[in-house]
Structure 1
């Protein structure tokens, strides 16, 4: 093998020195602030007294603080990583996930190399954060998941097989070609695939005696080789795959945002409204119906009750009656008098052209004009209504309630006069809150309004079920097979979203702000903890010329397979570039990569094929890791 010892040591020292600059300003600033601040009293003084020993120790003390307070480490990595991720060079940026990973690894490497401080944050924290991300992602893509399977199942499976087989060939035969010792190939597969469980499979082969080390090597040495190869390839492949997946469409001359919009239209079946339970499902949006107020002066209105006027003018129902500055209760079916102010809702054109002449002059009375409009999903629970057409319902129902969309089995149907309504359908209605509640009762259901409901109950139950399903393991010929907790939880999110799209009573709409927070924070916190624990292993592997071979083979095994699979998906199967990208990152088991393409495209549609290729290659990668250990 080529001897890179001198070059490698120089690189090592240069890397560590460069990374030290990342936090030098922070440490000096903290130390200077302590010197310049006089002792305080009370609670504030106690806080500074506890920080003083750390700041007096300078940079060393700062790294000790991060080691003693892992939460501080995670938050620092999140903050600096997000800032670095926003830095753009010629429209290319790392993104928050890759930035957090790099900062976390840099901090942990500096602490290990310069001060002998090894960070070890409990993995339960990172595991839980990852599961939160997967659940939130499942909520987002649930309604599209099954249609995605029908549209591109074969292509997604083929992409998964391409990525897995190429990765195995590159890592196993690459290690064999350059003469790497036993254990390195399995570690390379595990790290380049970012599947830690492959290390467990390899260790299982060693522990069971299925693989016996050659003379002169111990089981511990083979295990150390696996860990070193895993650490080096994991770090490089994680960063590399984020950048590759993020910019694959651009490399092939595609516009990620434009292609994502096309994919959303394709997988939505032409629907223009979010399905029930989905984020933004109950956003008001544009409505052709307007609200206007008029002072009653025409004889056709004076002396008639509100119910009589509703029968006479169904296209312009009365929402409110104002008399002498007071709101009249419509439930008493009041008689409209001269100079009353009535608020009506109708088509904008009709309101402008006709209603003023029909009722009287328009009024600017704020009490009459400020009628809040709501959006609600109502599940049809009355068999008597089944079979009626929308023309029988009317474009605007009593109370000013208008039909915005109709869903059947989670799929939006076109609104036409002959479109029939069936038991179990979901109507999306707009109108005043009181009128919506009244209409929902007539339809045999109740109005699901855009309120901030707690998601904790659904989150806990769904994640628990998904987690338990994911840990169910079947061992065949010494190889453990399991769906995996990540895949189990994302499918739980898909299931919750799927049922909500068919019956909004099952949890109602997901608040997009809360869902988006879980998705972003969960993934980046997971990456921060992972970086803290992997960094020291990278330092221990920085020796000899082996590291360069591990880096080269690991990066090749991580990036070449998804690149080839993406090309096959676009050119052979004719997939949309964002769908092909999502399938490729699923086949590579790269959750951070998925987040990167969602950020780049401004859409979550890339997550539609992700669980399919992810679940397939998770199983295949475990088998391949076991075989690579046996063949070593």
Structure 2
């Protein structure tokens, strides 16, 4: 009865897969959380035994939207990190080269077909997008419908088996085993790096909320009698700003040359360390008065200035004229939807979203000099979106033969490259191509989950056969395909690239495109320093790995 209902109304099967799959994926065992995509695939494989199928057209549309949004959101960071982030980029290349070599070894030793080989790559590298690009490549091999469906089903089954073991391995490797190999206490190292970057201590997320980086305090001037506003701000590296001065009950206009006098009531705002430092040189702090309230504006600004790319927060402030930088503070840096610590030593990349805090006129002035304000719009430019996907489909038709191996990008590879290009154009010309982050996220989440559900349902009947054929060989291969690139990157990053341990381990999590691994790392370190390395390799691997789907299909077919 249920099977007949699912076969007659496949849309029911789709939303059952999404609902139950994301519910299963939300459970956490220690640092391990499978995630909604993995949960959706497991449910789809089970329901696939009923014969329920989703129309191929819906599957193709869902994947095209997902992969385009993936490229669109990652485009600015991808191009920004190609040159300047070369040290971390080396680790992404290590990942690509080593997993390709391991896949070819597995094909020769285990006699894998092209579908199983591509699924092993997708699962061990925890990169779901490979499923789509490899599936399209198999569809272009010119095989019969039955054989094509069988090989595409093998991608999904191999992915589901190797993904679970690959996920567990990368989480445990980065957060537990690698620090032992480096002989470091990861929390102590993270605190040292945090202080080196200009932080005040390795605060956890909750502690940072209790002790905010930006504060405002009111003082009754005594020891600070005679100092000018500019001299006070200059003494503390312009990390604080005199926002208000009240003398004899009257508020004075802020002038850099104005000298403070004994008895003045002064409101000082800025970075907490600088304000605390200045307290003793000003006078007694005054509490419980409305005068001490700071009315600050927050603006999200996309950094577009090429000359700022690669500068630290401290260098950016130092090179700016005091009148331009005055009263503007970077409260947060968002890169690829991850928040990295906005410390003086934090390096800024073109395409970063900077959260500026300060008086309205100050942050607006800062926004004009750094880039453009991220508009708080909920509207999507469907002209730009539709054109981008169409261009991707055209690019996907390109292909050729290299060394006897036939390669074709397909819709997935084409839309990925188109998304990169259109995202980069949008970052340069913000007046066109609006795709709000929330809209992009729903395209990625729903598009990928729908695609995974569709391929999982179609793979259901063949899943058990493949598991019986290879047994424990697939999980073992998945574990090796995480450990070998991880160990190589650990050795190269530590010995030759001289990367700090927290950033190096974050970069290894990023080269594996593993969000659970970076979450576990942040929990172990107690601060967000690993995210600095993670965002660079994640941006590169998230683009390069899906493009390897057709390459693996071509090479595995040649060897087979």
Work out whether the TM-score is over 0.5: yes
For 1:237 and 1:579, the matched residues in 2 are separated by: 26
Maintained 8 Å contact 1:188/1:553: no
Maintained 8 Å contact 1:167/1:557: no
Maintained 8 Å contact 1:82/1:97: yes
SS in 2 for 1:106: helix
* Structure 2 counterpart of 1:569: 485
CA distance 1:290–1:526, shift in 2 (3 Å): same
* Structure 2 counterpart of 1:130: 66
139, 146, 164: which one aligns with 1:243: 164
* Structure 1 counterpart of 2:467: 551
Maintained 8 Å contact 1:379/1:426: no
CA distance 1:298–1:253, shift in 2 (3 Å): closer
Maintained 8 Å contact 1:473/1:480: no
* Structure 2 counterpart of 1:620: 551
Maintained 8 Å contact 2:331/2:356: yes
Larger radius of gyration: 1
* Structure 1 counterpart of 2:376: 452
For 1:119 and 1:619, the matched residues in 2 are separated by: 24
For 1:425 and 1:103, the matched residues in 2 are separated by: 37
CA distance 1:462–1:100, shift in 2 (3 Å): same
Q: Is 1:352 matched up with 2:275?
A: no
Maintained 8 Å contact 1:373/1:432: yes
Maintained 8 Å contact 2:116/2:151: yes
* Structure 2 counterpart of 1:9: none
For 1:608 and 1:261, the matched residues in 2 are separated by: 25
For 2:556 and 2:147, the matched residues in 1 are separated by: 14
* Structure 1 counterpart of 2:44: 104
For 2:224 and 2:548, the matched residues in 1 are separated by: 75
Q: Is 1:527 matched up with 2:452?
A: yes
For 1:351 and 1:376, the matched residues in 2 are separated by: 29
* Structure 1 counterpart of 2:136: 197
Instruction: Give the TM-score normalised by structure 2.
Output: 0.62
CA distance 1:462–1:294, shift in 2 (3 Å): farther
* Structure 2 counterpart of 1:610: 541
For 1:381 and 1:201, the matched residues in 2 are separated by: 41
Q: Is 1:68 matched up with 2:9?
A: yes
Task: Report the alpha carbon displacement of residue 131 of structure 1 after superposing the two structures with TM.
Answer: 1.6
Task: Report the alpha carbon displacement of residue 348 of structure 1 after superposing the two structures with TM.
Answer: 1.6
* Structure 2 counterpart of 1:6: none
May I ask how many residue pairs the two structures share in their alignment? 479
| Pairing of 1:219-618 with structure 2 (within 5 A) | 223-231=145-153, 233-249=154-170, 255=176, 290-293=215-218, 310=229, 314-315=233-234, 317-320=241-244, 342-345=266-269, 347-349=274-276, 351-356=278-283, 362=286, 364-366=288-290, 369-374=293-298, 400-401=327-328, 430-438=357-365, 445=369, 448-449=372-373, 452-454=376-378, 456-457=380-381, 460=385, 463-464=388-389, 467-468=392-393, 470-476=395-401, 480-490=406-416, 518-535=443-460, 538=461, 541=462, 548=465, 550-553=466-469, 559-572=475-488, 574=491, 594=514, 605=535, 607-608=538-539, 610-611=541-542, 614=545, 617-618=548-549
For 1:272 and 1:517, the matched residues in 2 are separated by: 36
CA distance 1:328–1:105, shift in 2 (3 Å): farther
RMSD: 5.9
Instruction: Give the TM-score normalised by structure 1.
Output: 0.56
CA distance 1:597–1:167, shift in 2 (3 Å): farther
For 1:133 and 1:473, the matched residues in 2 are separated by: 21
Maintained 8 Å contact 1:245/1:581: no
CA distance 1:328–1:254, shift in 2 (3 Å): closer
* Structure 2 counterpart of 1:22: none
Maintained 8 Å contact 2:115/2:553: no
For 2:426 and 2:470, the matched residues in 1 are separated by: 42
CA distance 1:529–1:309, shift in 2 (3 Å): same
For 1:447 and 1:467, the matched residues in 2 are separated by: 28
Deviations for 1:264-283, whole angstroms, at most 9, x for unmatched residues? 99xx9x9789xxxxxxxxx9
Deviations for 1:294-352, whole angstroms, at most 9, x for unmatched residues? 57899979xxxxxx964575557542467999988879x99999998653336323552
CA distance 1:319–1:201, shift in 2 (3 Å): same
* Structure 2 counterpart of 1:159: 98
For 1:284 and 1:448, the matched residues in 2 are separated by: 28
Task: Report the alpha carbon displacement of residue 101 of structure 1 after superposing the two structures with TM.
Answer: 0.9
For 1:291 and 1:507, the matched residues in 2 are separated by: 38
For 2:450 and 2:89, the matched residues in 1 are separated by: 34
Maintained 8 Å contact 1:317/1:399: yes
CA distance 1:453–1:242, shift in 2 (3 Å): same
117, 120, 138: which one aligns with 2:55: 120
Task: Report the alpha carbon displacement of residue 125 of structure 1 after superposing the two structures with TM.
Answer: 3.8
Deviations for 1:227-261, whole angstroms, at most 9, x for unmatched residues? 33542x23421211211220123665853897999
Q: Gaps (5+ residues) in structure 1?
A: 1-57, 175-184, 207-219, 274-282, 302-307, 383-387, 417-423, 586-592
CA distance 1:625–1:226, shift in 2 (3 Å): farther
For 2:286 and 2:331, the matched residues in 1 are separated by: 27
